[in-house]
Each structure stands twice: as C-alpha cells, then as structure tokens.
Chain A
C-alpha cells in the first residue's frame, strides 16, 4: 500500500472502496464481528445510537489519522499501549463534550462512552490499517468503518425503539400508549413489545440482520 503515488486523485476508485466496503460486504459488526461490546447495550433508543455512532466516528477517524501520522515513530513492541493512549485521550474529549452539552444522554450512556476505548473496531483499524497506511486513506478507512458500525447500530435501534416503546427518537409513531388515553393504533388493541427493550433482543436482532445479509450474499456464508 505504501507504493501509492502522490498524484492519485483524492477519491480514486480504491479510496472509494475504503468507504463503501465496510458499509456492506465487509461490515465491521456483522462480518468482522468487531465492536459488538459497546454496540448493543445502547440501542434501546435511536438518539443514543446516533450519539454513540457519531462519537465512535470521531474517535476512529482522529485515531486513524494520529496513529497513521505517528506510524513510523512507534516502536512495534509498545504499539498497543501507544494506540490505547491515543484512543483514550480522544475518548476523554468525547466524554467531556457529551457531559457538557448533552448531560442527559451522557448519563444514559454511562460507562459505554468510556468503553469506546476498548471498542475492537477502533483497535482493529488502528492495528490493521493505520499502522501501515498514509494519513488520507486512513481517514477514509476510519470514515467507512465508523459509518458501517453506525449503520448497524441505528438499524438495531430503530427496530428496538419502534417496537419496544412505539417511538422514534422520542416521537411517538403509533399514537399514545398511556392506559386510559390511548390513541392511534393502541385503540385497536396494539401493544408495545416490552421484550424489545430487554438486552437479549439486541443480540437476536443483530443475528437476524446477519441472516438477511448472508442470504443476499451467499459468498459470506461460513462453514460452521
């Protein structure tokens, strides 16, 4: 990869692939199985999922950029610790910004903002891509993977919030569900599925997303 020429256009075919691949056939969550740790616990509401995806997007782009700039100076023996420290500093920035401007959401996300540090997507991309590539492709790679992660997060969150609480981003979709003053679908006897709010459903929905994706692209099917 280091043979890239300076004259290459910013959005060459290869660079575009860096962004689009992680969105579909090389998705970090459903194909590479990375970053699930912090992904699923915060998908109860779409708001949280969006804030979380943006935070991860910021950390992964900046982390990729910084590590890519430093890549020739980092001794390989201690590279993990250097990468962790870069990521940890970025996460502190994110945490402080969230605590200052979105205190409610920050309290709901609780420890999961801190856990971005050990999000395997970020460490994985730093280790596998940024350590061996120039800054610009690294930024694009970070963007692609961050978006791929965010996409899954938001899809899961949409299902869980819509069917679990009957709302999207806090706005009710199916009408008012309060007992005694039902409106919309609830007057017909529709009920929210409380199971959706519970943690295990996040896993099952992700499993179903994987199922759908692999049904459409048979090449991704695993041999047990």
Chain B
C-alpha cells in the first residue's frame, strides 16, 4: 500500500500533471509569458484542485459508485450511477470555482485582486477535471490520500508553470529562429523539461523501499531492544 506521503511526492514529481500527462496545457501555454501571472494562476490551480478533488471523492464514494447510495436506504444498494460521473464532476468543478471566486472576493480582496481574472478560467482547465478523473481511476482508499494527491498535483502544476515562465522570460533575450518563436520553442522547451522530469521516475516508493528496508529495520529493531535491555 502506498503511503500518503508517497502519493503526494509522486503527484508532484514523477506523475507531474504537465510533464507526464499534458493536463492543463492550454492555460499553461497561454499564461506563462511572465512569472508574475504564472504564480497567480499556479496558486489558483493548487487552491481549486485541493478543494474540488476531495468533494468529488465524497461524491464518487457516497453517491455515484455501485451500491454507494446504500446509506440512504437498502433499496438503493444496487444502483450504479457511475455513468453520471463526468457530468457530476464538471458541475462540481464549475460550481466550486464560482463559489471559491465569491468567497475569495468577499473575504480576501487582496488575493482576489491577484487571482481575479484567472479563477473563472480554471473551470475549463483540464488539470482540475483530470485530477478528479485520476482520483476516480486510481481509487484512493481514503479522502486523505485523495487530498494529498490533489495538493501534490496542484503543486506540481505550479512548479511547471513557474519554471516555464521563468525560462520564457529569459528566452526573450535569445535569438530563436523566426518560425520557432513563441509557441514552437515553448513546446520544445517543455518537452526537454519533461525529459528532465523523467529522472524523478527513479524515486523509490512504498513497497520497493519497504522490501529493501525490511532487513535493516529488523536489525535496527534488535539493536534497539538490546539497548533497552541494557
């Protein structure tokens, strides 16, 4: 079983939303011209992902799955509303974005000023719906795991967009061949960054580490006991 920390770290690095799955590429390419706006959008994505995925997790497990409605009445125990999941997820995402926008506007006007224009955009950012769909596909066992996954994915997305924005700011001073300017070079740089991020695939997670550590743990446990006995 993967630990919560494994899920979190995996979501940031080796299963990065942008570099491994290309989710949220549209806003990633459109809003990465300066670091400042990239930070704004990245923060908004972390925020919305961390809010919507747990909500969708509850929806998935208490409404949509086969037999999930059993808590209302025994009669509903055989219902499988799984086919409705797309429409429910997107409705949750769209309405949460709206809600978050209103709350932020009311209680944190400064943050609203910073995120303002980006919040409505996020409803159609693939990474948000992608987060919900991956959560559904991977069937995380607890809501804490699902939240760790969503927070990690958000941070991974943030890292990616801020990195490309910084690179694009510097690229402005370089002599890129005409036809590659703008979009073309951004694609290629993103590809190269993706190759760099693939090196994180070497990180050992959960079981692999547990197997390797099993022996050392046994020996350390023994020495601990010996120490206590003394």
Q: Which residues of A contact B (CB under 8 A)?
A: 30, 33-41, 80-81, 84-85, 88-89, 91-92, 95-96, 110-111, 114-115, 117-120, 123, 198-204, 206-208, 210-215, 218, 220-224
Pick from A35, A118, A200, A218: contact of B192, CB under 8 Å:
A200
Interface residues of B in 81-134 (CB under 8 A from A): 83-84, 86-87, 89-91, 94-95, 120, 123-130, 133-134
Contact assessment for A214 and B184 in the assembled complex, using a CB-CB cutoff below 8 Å: yes
Most buried by B among A92, A120, A203, A221: A203
A interface, over-half SS: helix
With A35-B26, A81-B91, A120-B124 already in contact, the answer to whether A207 and B172 are too (CB < 8 A) is no
Contact assessment for A221 and B126 in the assembled complex, using a CB-CB cutoff below 8 Å: no
Interface size bucket, B side?
A: 35 or more
Contacts of A36 in B (CB 8 A): 22, 25-26, 29
Contact assessment for A114 and B86 in the assembled complex, using a CB-CB cutoff below 8 Å: yes
Contact assessment for B26 and A120 in the assembled complex, using a CB-CB cutoff below 8 Å: yes
Give the Cβ gap from A38 to chain B, nearest Cβ, in Å. Answer: 7
Contact assessment for A118 and B126 in the assembled complex, using a CB-CB cutoff below 8 Å: yes
Most buried by B among A92, A202, A214: A214
Q: What are 23 A-B pairs with beta-carbon distances under 8 A?
A: A33-B183, A36-B22, A36-B25, A36-B29, A40-B22, A81-B94, A84-B91, A85-B87, A89-B87, A92-B87, A111-B134, A115-B130, A199-B21, A200-B192, A203-B191, A204-B188, A204-B191, A204-B192, A207-B184, A211-B180, A218-B179, A224-B172, A224-B182
Does B202 belong to the interface (CB within 8 Å)? Answer: no
Contact assessment for A111 and B133 in the assembled complex, using a CB-CB cutoff below 8 Å: yes
Q: Which residues of B contact A (CB under 8 A)?
A: 19-26, 29-30, 83-84, 86-87, 89-91, 94-95, 120, 123-130, 133-134, 136-137, 171-172, 176-188, 190-195, 198
Contact assessment for A222 and B182 in the assembled complex, using a CB-CB cutoff below 8 Å: yes
Give the Cβ gap from A110 to chain B, nearest Cβ, in Å. Answer: 6
Give the Cβ gap from B99 to chain A, nearest Cβ, in Å. Answer: 12
With A120-B26, A211-B180 already in contact, the answer to whether A203 and B187 are too (CB < 8 A) is yes
Give the Cβ gap from A185 to chain B, nearest Cβ, in Å. Answer: 26
Q: How far is the CA of A14 from the CA of B184 in the complex (A)?
A: 30
Pick from A37, A91, A200: contact of B191, CB under 8 Å:
A200
Contact assessment for A115 and B188 in the assembled complex, using a CB-CB cutoff below 8 Å: no
Contacts of B127 in A (CB 8 A): 37
With A92-B86, A200-B191 already in contact, the answer to whether A115 and B180 are too (CB < 8 A) is no
Contact assessment for A211 and B123 in the assembled complex, using a CB-CB cutoff below 8 Å: no
Q: How far is the CA of A40 from the CA of B21 in the complex (A)?
A: 8
Contact assessment for B181 and A33 in the assembled complex, using a CB-CB cutoff below 8 Å: no
Contact assessment for B23 and A37 in the assembled complex, using a CB-CB cutoff below 8 Å: yes
Give the Cβ gap from A23 to chain B, nearest Cβ, in Å. Answer: 18
Q: How far is the CA of A221 from the CA of B83 in the complex (A)?
A: 44
Pick from B29, B130, B171, B181: contact of A111, CB under 8 Å:
B130
